[in-house]
Amino acid sequence: MWIILLAILLYAEICVGATLVYWCATNPDEIELAKRLVKEWNHSHSETTIKLQPVPAGASSEEVLLAAIVAKTNPDIYSNMLPAMLNKFVKADTLLRLDGLKNFAKETEARIGATILKDYRSPDGHYHQWPWKLNPVMLVYNIDLFQKLNIKPPRTYDEFWTAAKKLTADTDGDGRVDRWAMSPSMTVMWWQRLYDFLPFYMAATNGRSLLNQGRADFNNVSAIAVMDFFQRGFARGYFPKSGTVSNLFAQQKVGMTIVGPWALKMFERSMAQKFNFKTIPIPVPDGHHGPAYTFGDPKSFVVFKNTQHPEAAWEFVKFMTSKKADKLLLDITGQIPVRKGLINDSYYKEVFVRRKNLIPFASQVPFTKPGDNSEHIVEILDFLGQQYEASAVYGTIPANKAIENAANHVEHIYKNW
Amino acid sequence: MSVRRLILYVMLTAGAVSFIYPFLWMGSISLRPMTEFQDLGLFSKNFTLANYQAVFDRIPIGRAFMNSCLIAGTVTCSVIFFSSLVGYSLAKLKFKGQGAIMAIVMISMMIPGQLTLIPLYQLIVYFGWADSYLGLIVPSLMSGMGILIFRQTFMTIPYELMEAARMEGAGEFQILRKIFWPLAKPAIVTIGILTFMGSWNEVLWPMIVVHEKAMMTLPQMVVLFTKGGESGGQFGVEMAANMMLVVPIIISYSFFQKYFVEALASSGIKG
Amino acid sequence: MQSEQSHSKAGILFTSPYLIHLVVFFLYPVGFSLYLVFHRWDLMTDPEYVGLRNFTYLMSDHLFWQALTNTLYFLVIHIPLQIIVALALAIVLAKPLKGRVFFRATFFLPVVISGAAVTILWQRLYSTEVGLINYVLSLVGIDAVPWLTDPGIAMPAIAIMATWKNLGLYVVFFLAGILAIPQTVYEAAKMEGASSWHEFRYITLPLLKPTMFLVVVMSTLGGFNLFIEPYVMTGGGPLGSTMSVVLYMYKQAFSFQHMGYAATLGFALALIIMVCVFIQKKYLDSERYY
């Protein structure tokens, strides 16, 4: 009896071939994209089946992924890897080295190009991630409101404050301010600083990162100026200090917001009244020279070392980042693939014609950085967040003190852990 | 009725309202459209089940409910069974090492759980029990408190009953099953309620060992749903999810109120 | 002789599942936590011996000391509030009032509901702009209170919520304590012309000392266990004012993967709890009840 059973099992095993588990991000747009591509793959690749699952819920996907690796319940492929976190996984020897795989050099040359690829290199000189998308964090403003109030789009802090002053107002005359300039987050979640402090810091410093060779590289005037910028905004009441700040931009309760391209669709969906908006680079300190860089909130594909089918996984990663897949990424999620010459490529032109508001983001890409890669990045950003809260939001310590504390803590972390 | 008494009643009623109104209001908000989230009254013309629909669409909350029932149920049965065995041994048997076992029960209750939290997680990972029922259930299969309550109760049961049963050739387990369990029903109910509630309400441990949605417990899922992005910050939807956490308990409490109060009151005696 | 042997056999049989469980899920973890205290471990790579570094880090870790201070702040508000309100309600409910069972059941309701559910609900009640609590306060002319966003108020706000949640239980404790006091004691006092305040001060209060001890110890344990409340409501903020030791331990372990340090925190916390309970026992649980 059981011989038959065994035979059936064996047969099934042969027929099914390899099955790979792939985790994608949890937002609805990305799930839709992944579903479509995986379906297509499974249709045309009978030898390797992909099982798609969004990252299981949790406080942050990084925490969930770590827990899964420890418990050995990790997927084969993961597409939401923050390069900042990569080093932690590389150090623990959990990721597959990609540069040893078939056609790695050829593939990179075709898609990414050697210069950009360097930003994604692991400290050991090898490559453990496949850059997927890079979404510049930029300033989006409400054109209609700006025109009505006769405000110039701000390029510098000075211009920003001029705009802020005009925007912040009590529009219904009840004696309380109900429209503000912008509503930066007040929360201390570590990743939040990737969307406020870091882009402004990169804009102020031509794309410098926070760390350099395991040392804090931000104890400088630019970082202090950025901290001071946020402190002023909160202190002068240009930024609302209230717990509920979701979607104020779509409700026209703030005139500006700092976001990546993924947010545009949400704005369009949740606008109570339709209005026009425009995207410009992050404002820079007065007297700044050169372009305004920004942080790119990059996400990469990685393959885990304990996969049974590394070659098949690599094939799938290439499929997910093919020319066609990149077009779907751009179209469905409004996110920008890491692909050289994207904006000038005639293949993608029709998407940009249809979705004009993606053009400023795509044009910003050459001045966009993927940020640091350190195994301590969560702890560093967490501490920076606490200093940001104390200095910018509550104004209990001066900006220079906050930056100094954060820089000292970086040394402390590297020394102790 | 004297004025003093009247004032007393007014104050007690105000107090009672402050304990009930929040729950009623939560129920009301969970049944109303998003636009009414600022309304602090209880009634609306626009009652709808849309928020509950949204919860069921977005998270497998039915599954989480079953998980919680399964986990709390298993843990409760196990604690009652094994604690009564140990309680019986400590109360009615005489054997070597008895004193040592009693001491160890006391010590295990005195050491705060925070001490073993991290190593316990490591152990679960080592066993490969992360994201599984085993990881959620096995560490809490035994309870020192259960043992103490059973020991206390069994001590009051006279030896004569045991002797009579022994004469008839009953083994120790039969004595426990046929004589002690029926006589210790109040203790069983108490331990049952305390254990079930403790397991049902636990959030920290599931958050540590479970990340897979299909394995989550009800409170864990509701917390992550309201705290994480999935509720979309929609207030009515959050309250609907929370209602599903609260309502089963309120229902059982309203039926077995007396037992709940007695059980929790006796939880204080243990220390 | 026969019975002695069968006792041994049954005793071993009955207690062995418990003992095995105890060894694996209690003794081993306690031992392993001692091991971890001297190691650096990120869960993914092998533990590395670091000597006393976790301890020295703990000593200079102001975030830990802040978390501990926060907990003490919580207790300083929570315990007296809990005792005063619960005692007052118990005294009222000890009288032969109509509807006493209903009131007791009502005050007890939040006790049975999970802390997570209560916290999620109260987060909304505490909302500065649209919360029920600020609305009620506005009716009596009090300005909106930024309950969870003001560093000075957030912890008291959590303490008030915890009091609301546990009140019913402590009312029941006090009620049992009061009803256990023999009526003859009061009658004797009345004979000597004692006022009701004197009765309360010199009879009820001293005789409730054991209950008081129980309430203090249980509130203390609850305070040191604070996790889900700050996790849901504030994430430990604003300005770290509601960071509890358990939440900090969770963060060190699962956000930063400092398992050795988290174990050290757990160790320190366990020690502090035991010392606290010991001190309370010494001062409150004296044998001089009568």
Domain ranges (residues) in chain C? 2-37, 62-284
d(CA A23, CA A73): 12
CA distance B125 to chain C (A): 10
Chain B residues lying within 8 Å of C255, measured CB to CB: none
Sheet with A77-81, edge to edge strand ranges: A48-54, A18-24, A77-81, A299-303, A130-133
d(CA A345, CA A336): 13
Quick one: how far is CA A75 from the chain centroid? 21
Size (chain C), residues: 290
Type of residue at A19: T
Question: What average pLDDT does chain B have?
Answer: 89
Lowest model confidence (mean pLDDT) among A218-222, B55-59, B153-157, C285-289: C285-289
Superfamily of domain C62-284: MetI-like (1.10.3720.10)
Pick from A59, A73, A246: CB nearest B130: A73
- Mean pLDDT across the stretch B30-37? 82
- Mean pLDDT across the stretch C42-61? 92
For the record, the structure tokens of A150 come out as 């006769």
Token pair 């150090």 in the structure block, residue: A91
Instruction: Report the helix count and the strand count for chain C, using DSSP H and E.
Output: 15, 2
Selection from C143, C135, C123 nearest residue C233 by Cα: C123
pLDDT at B270 (0 to 100): 44
For the record, the structure tokens of A396 come out as 């209990």
d(CA B37, CA B33): 8
Residue B4 — very low, low, confident or very high, per pLDDT cuts 50/70/90?
Answer: confident
pLDDT at C155 over 80: yes
pLDDT at B142 (0 to 100): 94
d(CA A126, CA A155): 39
Q: pLDDT tens digits for C177-234?
A: 998 888 888 888 888 888 888 888 888 898 898 889 889 999 999 999 999 999 999 8
Pick from A27, A71, A246: CB nearest B131: A71
CB under 8 A, 24+ apart: contacts of C198-205: C200/C91, C204/C91, C204/C178
pLDDT at B230 (0 to 100): 66
Residue B177: Cβ within 10 Å count? 13
pLDDT at B177 over 80: yes
The ipTM of this complex is 0.90
For chain B, give every domain's residue range.
Answer: 3-48, 59-267
pLDDT at C39 over 60: yes
Pick from C53, C235, C239: CB nearest A187: C235
CA distance B119 to chain A (A): 14
Question: What average pLDDT does chain C have?
Answer: 90
Size (chain A), residues: 417
Query: Which phi and psi (to 5°) does residue A57 adopt?
Result: -60, 155
pLDDT at C289 over 50: no
Selection from A12, B265, B36 nearest residue C215 by Cα: B265
With a pLDDT cut of 90, the percent of chain C lying above it is 64
Q: Which of residues 34-53 of C touch B (CB under 8 A)?
A: 36, 43
Chain B residues lying within 8 Å of C29, measured CB to CB: 115-116, 119-120, 123
Cα dist. B88→A235, B12, C15 in Å? 67, 44, 9
Q: Are C89 and C167 in contact (CB under 8 A)?
A: yes
Q: pLDDT tens digits for C118-144?
A: 999 999 899 887 889 999 999 999 998
Q: pLDDT tens digits for A170-180?
A: 998 888 898 99
Q: Is the dihedral of CA C57, C235, A371, A73 positive or negative?
A: positive
CATH fit for domain B59-267, picks 3.40.50.720, 3.30.1540.10, 3.40.50.300, 1.10.3720.10? 1.10.3720.10
Residue of B nearest to C268 (CA): B115
pLDDT at A58 (0 to 100): 62
Q: Are B38 and B235 in contact (CB under 8 A)?
A: no
**Chains touching chain B at 3 or more Cβ pairs under 8 angstroms?**
A, C
Q: Is B102 on the interface with C (CB under 8 A)?
A: no
Cα dist. B15→B109, B261, C173 in Å? 35, 19, 18
Pick from C14, C232, C254: CB nearest B86: C14
Query: Which phi and psi (to 5°) does residue B159 adopt?
Result: -65, -30
- DSSP for A231-253, please give it: HHHHHTTSS---S--TTTTTTTS
Return the beta strands (E) in A92-158 as ranges.
Answer: 130-133, 138-142
CA distance C128 to chain A (A): 8
Q: pLDDT tens digits for C55-99?
A: 999 999 999 999 999 999 999 999 999 999 999 999 999 988 888
Q: Are B194 and C106 in contact (CB under 8 A)?
A: no
Alpha helices in A248-298 (DSSP H): 263-270
Cis peptide before C151 (omega within 30 of 0): no
Q: Which of residues 47-86 of C touch B (CB under 8 A)?
A: none
Regions of chain A short of the pLDDT cut 50: 245
CB under 8 A, 24+ apart: contacts of A112-115: A112/A338, A112/A339, A112/A340, A113/A340
Cα dist. C42→A55, A78, B122, C96, C138 in Å? 22, 21, 11, 61, 50
Q: Which of B10, B51, B108, B115 is the best mutation test for C, with the most CBs of C within 10 A?
A: B115
More reliable by pLDDT, C238 or C285 = C238
Task: Please give the domain boundaries of chain A with CATH numbers for all domains.
Answer: 15-128+299-337 (3.40.190.10), 138-295+373-416 (3.40.190.10)
Cα separation of the two ends of chain B: 42
- Mean pLDDT across the stretch B1-29? 90
Q: Is the dihedral of CA A400, A402, A404, A407 positive or negative?
A: negative
